[in-house]
Amino acid sequence: MQQINASIGFDQRLWRQDIQGSLAHAAMLARVGIISAADETAIRKGLEAIAAEIESGKFVFDPALEDIHTNLEAQLIARIGEPGRRLHTARSRNDQVATDLRLWLREAIDGLDGQVAALMQALADRAGEYAHLAMPGFTHLQAAQPVTFGHHLMAYVEMFARDRGRLADCRRRLNECPLGAAALAGTAFPIDRQMTAEALGFARPCANSLDAVSDRDFALEFLAAAALAASHLSRLAEEIVLWASPGFRFIRLSDAYTSGSSIMPQKRNPDAAELVRAKSGRIDGALVALLTVLKGLPLAYGKDLQEDKEPVFDAADALSLSLAAMVGMVRDLVADAARMSGMAAEGFSTATDLADWLVRTLGMPFRTAHHVTGRLVAKAEGRGVSLAELPLAEMQAEEPGITQAVYGVLSIAASIASRNSLGGTAPARVAAAAEEWRRRLAG
């Protein structure tokens, strides 16, 4: 029973938040006259001494005392006696732990937000650097149209911007204070919940005592936001793995972010990217675990809710480590410009430019132009040449209206430059987008 019931092995991470909440609670109790000013002073000094001892690594947590709340309260009573026994007036471990976890998660979100912003900054910096570098754009992992490497990197900036938005939404909704809800029904003592909420930096107290102690929506919402961010990290990690592979050779990572083989000295394995890719499974698992714990759980508190912390802690740790590794890889990678731009020309990637030219110049309906272009691609493929190398006579045999001017749109540079619509891959658009994001992130 002791082994299954105890949570001190993992909830000791909440010691700062537990002490912070206790200090605010004691100050409120003294303000409204439930405890004396002398008791509040003794409690504050005792908790500050315990905090200093934990910080120094000298504090010994007792597994027999079950959780962080009981450990700290027992130590406080042992140090200051009777005033320590008054601290738990008008509160329960139920509202206490809900408050602690919200405080911890609020701080974790703030840290992760900074890390996501750092990754966006790194991506925008590299996008500006590679705004003109052509690479093949893919659909179905087949060459589709040429884009720039900078444009590709900026797509991830937009993804991670949405992740920041989701974290911010989660933080805003979790920023309500359960303290004072007590076990489930509130308390008969004349407490001031607004005072404790303000002291702890919450926007307001939770409005319903039953909901306050049983709600873990904030933890689920965080895990959902973390899972989405991890999916974006995994997609970028997968592309890094592909780009660094012999089949692509688009980029090179230094020894700082790769590992060798135990028997093959030539290997440079993209282990950091592979591990980031794998962490998404761990974070997804944390979300599913907590969803399962909460499914069908009746109000108000059940010990099942003790299972909320490990998934949240683990997901936050995994996401933080993944972000740090990805920032490093983005700043570390070096693009092989010749390889990228060379492959951008493969697979008849300017076929759409030819179809667009037929529409613009000859007034041809797009669907007709699409079929004409398809037949010209087949001719070029049969001759083993690119569209730009297909003789004009061959083109005119398929469509007499085609002129020499068509070759002006069939180069990779022309194709990329022509995609100048808002959000397009034209180098000027990419450079401007990267600069705009750098400005926003700096502000």
Query: Tokens 């440079």 label which residue?
Result: 268
Q: Please pick, among 36, 245, 261, 371, the residue that the annotation labels catalytic.
A: 261
CA dihedral sign, ordered 281, 287, 288, 290: positive
Q: Please pick, among 56, 140, 262, 421, the residue that the annotation labels catalytic.
A: 140
Residue 261: active-site member: yes
For 104, what's the count of Cα atoms within 13 Å in the CB-facing half-sphere?
23
Residue 204 Cα distances to 29, 36, 186, 189, 335, angstroms: 18, 26, 16, 19, 50
Q: Give the DSSP letter of residue 185.
A: T
- Counting DSSP H helices and E strands in the chain, the numbers are 19, 6
What's the CA gap between 349 and 10, in Å, rounded?
Answer: 54
For 329, what's the count of Cα atoms within 13 Å in the CB-facing half-sphere?
28
Q: Evaluate whether 23 touches 46 at the Cβ level (below 8 Å).
A: no
* 3-state SS class at 261: coil
Q: Evaluate whether 102 touches 309 at the Cβ level (below 8 Å).
A: no
CA dihedral sign, ordered 175, 180, 182, 186: negative
Q: Which of 250, 270, 253 has the alpha carbon at shortest distance from 261?
A: 270
What are φ and ψ of residue 251, in 5° steps? -135, 170
For 217, what's the count of Cα atoms within 13 Å in the CB-facing half-sphere?
12
- Cβ partners under 8 Å of residue 52, min gap 6: none
What's the CA gap between 76 and 90, in Å, rounded?
Answer: 17
The residues annotated with a catalytic role in the active site are 140, 261
